[in-house]
Amino acid sequence: GNSVTQMEGPVTLSEEAFLTINCTYTATGYPSLFWYVQYPGEGLQLLLKATKADDKGSNKGFEATYRKETTSFHLEKGSVQVSDSAVYFCARENNAGNMLTFGGGTRLMVKP
Amino acid sequence: EAGVVQSPRYKIIEKKQPVAFWCNPISGHNTLYWYLQNLGQGPELLIRYENEEAVDDSQLPKDRFSAERLKGVDSTLKIQPAELGDSAVYLCASSSRGVGSYNEQFFGPGTRLTVL
């Protein structure tokens, strides 16, 4: 079946540090891939997405590249801010395009 | 434009009691989802509605969980009776049918249920 595996947290960084959160997915079909972010007390928000191999999704300084050969979609940001502290979820779409499977989430804490 | 609205935000009940959660999706969104999010885990789909029809409820524990979406707008998720293991956050999301293979899901803030 479909599954998504992401690195466990928490990830604790200092402000302006480089961020990588790893995500891999099961390679059934050619799913669209997503990163969602959940700020404290809020619902999940779509951060970025990529719909085919080698696509790069980007938003708010975050980037992730759809790597078919390694079935990965790692999230990166060159310089994190305190306001980036949140839980990040990697997700893949099913082949019908109507369902998401989420990873377990990675909590990011950025210290000033 | 208002987002997905859920109520209550928090609910504390004793085991064996019934509980209900309410969701109002974004206006015009025909697809509605209920997810279960256990502590430290990602959301898991419980049920998906296309308008008023439940098209995917394979993960809904039907012995104690039920859901409805009358008139294809608001939805209610019920648990009766609640068990200790039901303590979790219940998320509602909605999306609209559009062009392309994926229609972005917009999430509500969730209802945090604690069963004592």
Q: Does B44 touch chain A (CB under 8 A)?
A: yes
Question: What is the chain A residue with the closest CA to B36?
Answer: A102
- Taking alpha carbons only, the member of A75, A92, A87, A105 closest to residue A42 is A87
What per-residue confidence (pLDDT) applies to A41? 82
H or E segment and range at residue B10: strand B10-13
pLDDT digits (tens, 9 = 90+) for B30-83: 999 999 999 888 999 999 999 999 988 888 998 999 999 988 899 999 999 999
pLDDT at B102 over 70: no
pLDDT digits (tens, 9 = 90+) for A26-68: 877 788 999 999 998 888 999 999 998 999 999 999 999 999 9
What per-residue confidence (pLDDT) applies to A4? 94
What per-residue confidence (pLDDT) applies to B98? 55
Closest CA of chain B from A102, distance in Å: 5
Contact A103 B42 (CB under 8 A): yes
Question: What is the chain A residue with the closest CA to B33?
Answer: A99
Cα angle for residues B48, A99, B42 (degrees, 5° grid): 95
Contact A43 B31 (CB under 8 A): no
Over residues A1-23, the mean pLDDT reads 93
Find out whether B53 and B79 touch, Cβ atoms under 8 Å.
no
Residue B113, CA distances (Å) to A79, A85, B38, B86, B108 in order: 36, 24, 10, 7, 15
Average pLDDT, chain B: 91
The string of DSSP letters for A21-69 reads E-EEE--SS---EEEEEE-TTS-EEEEEEE-STT-EEEETTEEEE-BTT
Closest Cβ–Cβ partner in B44, B102, B109 for A43: B109
Find out whether A50 and A78 touch, Cβ atoms under 8 Å.
no
pLDDT at B93 over 80: yes
pLDDT at B100 over 60: no
Residue B1 confidence class, pLDDT cut points 50, 70, 90: low
DSSP state of B60: S
Contact B102 A32 (CB under 8 A): yes
